[in-house]
Amino acid sequence: MTRTLCDRHALALHRARAARAGGDWFLHARVAAEIEERLGEVNKSFTDPVLVTGQPEAWAGRLPEWPRVADTPLLDLKEGAHDLVIHALSLHWADDPVGQIIQCRRALAPDGLFLAALFGGQTLASLRAALATAEAELAGGLSPRVLPMAEIRDLGGLLQRSGLALPVADAQAFPVRYRALSALVGDLRAMGETNALAARHRAFPPRALFSRAEALMRGTGAEHESFEVIFEVIFLTGWAPSPDQPRPLRPGSARSRLADALGVSETPAGEAVAPGSHSGKGPPDDAG
């Protein structure tokens, strides 16, 4: 049974508020630029792409106005209809992320590309820790205030579970510096990324909670006039299986030694390396 992580009604309200306010989509712009750069490195032309997003306004004018599909639990995608499916900065809100990826994989034609961008586990880690500490001090307990986001190793496993070939997961960190916690909250609100957890505390939090959290994020000393938060974006890439795709070699089938290819001498495990020699496991003694 799929657990309910997200209050979809609250999320829709937050996204609608961001759209009405004109939204500050600065992270979407950075991610869109990164996606376009990655697609430019793929030796393949895409003729039937589709973009899965919960915030179509954020992608207006980006990724050449491809067809948009809402990030609903049941995606409006036809089986085998696309050669490129991009899941754009909304998979972190899915109750069933592997189900979303499987639906995207089914929508791909053979050798079609799936590419997702989502916030990862290091996103707002300092805010999460500061709020937890402040709430424990002030109220003696905790309530979920920041979305729990997956780690890259777990997300890489989702690609394999979904049946995609040649799976790759990598991450980029986007550090942003703020002078006040209110500015960070304003950016989150402008992106439609404020708390929409199903288990969130519904009472309005006390003002002292945010004051204490901001103090914890700043640290101590007069020089701490601002603080930095990290937005970690994880990129997931995989291909719909196709008979003509390259496949990894069977273990033990190599015909040449790695040491020969690297031009180094091989030292058997357990043997000492003579001083001044280079075993291939690190830089020579005189490097650097």
How distant is the alpha carbon of residue 98 from its chain centre?
14
If we measure between CA atoms, which residue out of 142, 154, 173 comes closest to residue 92? 154
Average pLDDT of the residues in 38-62: 90
Structural domains in the chain, CATH included, are 8-239 (3.40.50.150)
How distant is the alpha carbon of residue 247 from its chain centre?
26
Q: What is the pLDDT of residue 209?
A: 87
pLDDT confidence bin for 284, thresholds 50/70/90:
very low
Length reported for the chain: 288
Taking phi over 0 as left and psi of -120 to 50 as alpha, with beta for the rest, 32 belongs to: alpha
- 97-106 vs 152-161: helix crossing angle, rounded to 10: 40
Model confidence pTM above 0.75: yes
Q: Which of 38-47, 142-151, 184-193, 271-280 has the lowest mean pLDDT?
A: 271-280
Q: What is the pLDDT of residue 60?
A: 84
Q: What is the 3-state secondary structure (H, E, C) of the chain?
A: CCCCCECHHHHHHHHHHHHHCCCCCHHHHHHHHHHHHHHHCCCCCCCCEEEECCCHHHHCCCHHHCCEECCCCCCCCCCCCEEEEEEECCHHHCCCHHHHHHHHHHCEEEEEEEEEEEECCCCCHHHHHHHHHHHHHHHCCCCCCCCCCCCHHHHHHHHHHCCCEEEEEEEEEEEEEECCHHHHHHHHHHCCCCCCECCCCCCCCCHHHHHHHHHHHHCCCCCCCCEEEEEEEEEEEEECCCCCCCCCCCCCCCCCCHHHHHCCCCCCCCCCCCCCCCCCCCCCCCCC
Average pLDDT of the residues in 195-221: 81
Average pLDDT of the residues in 223-233: 86
Average pLDDT of the residues in 106-114: 96
* CB distance 111 to 166 below 8 Å: no
